[in-house]
Amino acid sequence: MAYQTEMVVNTQPQMTVTSYSMTAGSSNWSSELCDCCEDCGICLCGTFLPCILGCKVAQDHGDSCCLPFLPGAMIAVRTSMRDRYNIQGTICDDWIAVACFPLCAVCQMAREQKARGV
């Protein structure tokens, strides 16, 4: 003789909403996106040897020198840099900067690293 058991569900899964806010210690980039002439060495390297500058930025950030050659990877580096230095902004801001102004974005990241002593 077989017994059948019924399972009764008394609760439903609940959705958790996590909100994020900028902390009091957040900051801005040390230079604006188009402030390339603030550091002529970085500006010249970014203009004529952007792959070399991208490799240096990635390496100084602790990533592989090959990272700038991967599509979209510099967006990840920029987002990670913003997170590390607690710089205000969004992933959308990072995407726009790198996709629309790639040389300016790499130069800004290099200037940020230099300003922070990296």
pLDDT digits (tens, 9 = 90+) for 91-109: 999 999 999 999 999 999 9
40-45 mean pLDDT: 94
CA atoms within 13 A on the CB side of 60: 19
Q: Give the pTM.
A: 0.76
CA 81, CA 71: separation in Å to the nearest integer?
A: 18
* Predicted local distance difference test score (pLDDT) of residue 75: 95
User: What is the average pLDDT score of the chain?
Assistant: 86
Residues 34-49: what's their mean pLDDT? 92
